[in-house]
Amino acid sequence: MIMPMNLYAAASLFRKASFAIAILPLLLASSFITHAQALESRHVNLVAFQADHSGANFDSIITGNLGELITNLEKNAHVLFATRTAGVVDRDVINLQSDVLRMTDKNTLANGGLNCRFIFDDESDEDSAFYSISGICDQLVAGYEGTQKKHAVIKRTMLSDPSTTFNVWTKFYEDKVSGMVFYVDID
């Protein structure tokens, strides 16, 4: 015997069917990604430095592993963060946050550190590899009155081809006033 469906069950079934119909075009569009694109992912290595003194100079490109990069720059700067993000594909957003939340003397919260969103673009074709990175980074300074935020737009920077023999660190952002410098390497 078939039981009649109550109004709540019918509405629930209708919502599920409507969702399936609405999501179907998105699923079909995503199926046009080629098999090679679906499998091709990269590791993105990011390092942020803070200059220890004004007038510090930072090379545009530095070769060597992470330790060599840090050794090369430690006379002028200290590391704010270093990270390796695995399995990055075209148009992924890498979100990095390194900050401290504290209570000020005026009983307000203040935040100090970095909050960055980087966009990785893979514009490669079958003949060559083309990668770029861009993004937005907020430098947060915790002060007596609360948090001061400096908003930085990081313009698109083309990156070197991945190398299996050595790392190529590309400087993709430098703020001479705050002393902040970012390097990236992909493999």
| 17 occurs within a structural domain | no
Give the type of residue at 9: A
| 29 occurs within a structural domain | no
| 94 occurs within a structural domain | yes
pLDDT one-digit tens code per residue, 104-135:
888 889 999 999 999 999 988 888 888 999 99
Do 166 and 63 meet the contact criterion of CB atoms below 8 Å apart?
A: yes
- According to the model, what pLDDT value does residue 106 have? 85
Reduced 3-state DSSP string for 106-118:
CCCEEEEEEEEEE
| 26 occurs within a structural domain | no
| 1 occurs within a structural domain | no
Domain membership of residue 112 as a residue range: 41-186
- Average pLDDT over the chain reads 82
The model's confidence at residue 150, banded by pLDDT at 50, 70 and 90, is very high
pLDDT one-digit tens code per residue, 13-54:
444 444 444 443 444 444 444 434 444 899 999 999 999 998
| 133 occurs within a structural domain | yes
The model's confidence at residue 4, banded by pLDDT at 50, 70 and 90, is low
Do 167 and 45 meet the contact criterion of CB atoms below 8 Å apart?
A: yes
Q: Is the pTM of this model over 0.95?
A: no
| 8 occurs within a structural domain | no
Looking at the 3D structure of the chain, how many domains does it have?
1
